[in-house]
Amino acid sequence: MPIFRLLLIAMLSSSWCLALLGLRFQWSGQTWFSFMAWNLFLASIPLGFAVILIKIDRWRLATPLIAGWLLFFPNAPYVLTDLLHLKERGDMPLWFDLLMLLSFALVSLWLGFQSLHLVQMWITEKTSTLTAWAFVGASLLLSGFGIYLGRFLRWNSWDIIRRPGALMNDIWVRFADPLAHERTWGVTLGFGGLLLIAYLFWMFSVSSSRDFRTHVDRA
């Protein structure tokens, strides 16, 4: 997909989410879900890293971009877990909150997958298809771990700079004694596996559509 079209779709879909959020503010007179706008912004950061990455040829320049992408990428699938906030609140219809939360979740996941695909294509070009897919699998598994850190331990991406010691300690404790932290690895493997399946579905649908168009053009 051309970058201009990709960014246009990202802007339009994000505007849809923010319009729903604004409508809820006006409808309910409350701003309880304002954090969703921030979560959507964080989910869009990996796409920014990826768009810059594909313009770069040298590993020396690309490595910090990939590291930054990897640091912020879990914020995109993390928005899926905001569905936990779905419950009756005042006079707001539950169906509207469901619509809004699903919109934010699906748009954020799409932003994340688009960024992952761009990074995957870059790594494929520089190394090999197998290496790129290994990176995809590792990134999605790490995202499952990132979802755990964010949802249950309330860590944020920028805490790696703001509070690195405490963050590293929380991570080390779970690796040092994995059997004592079943929920950590349940969430990590569960969401990592779900994201891998979702990404494979997404990739297959894109490639199938492209193959179908090619077949029709040749017919």
In whole angstroms, how far apart are CA 158 and each of 61, 67, 137, 140, 141?
Answer: 21, 13, 23, 19, 20
In the block, residue with structure tokens 């954020």: 108
Q: Give the C-alpha separation, 189 to 106, whole Å.
A: 21
pLDDT, mean of each 10-residue run, the chain (219 residues): 89 98 94 95 97 94 96 96 92 95 98 97 96 97 96 89 91 92 96 97 72 45
pLDDT at 160: 85
> Do 137 and 196 touch, CB atoms closer than 8 A?
yes
Query: Can you name the residues that pair with 89 across neighbouring β-strands?
Result: 92
pLDDT at 206: 67
Domain of residue 8: give its range: 3-218
- The distance in angstroms from the start CA to the end CA of the chain is 24
Q: What is the number of domains present in the chain?
A: 1
Q: Give the C-alpha separation, 194 to 202, whole Å.
A: 12
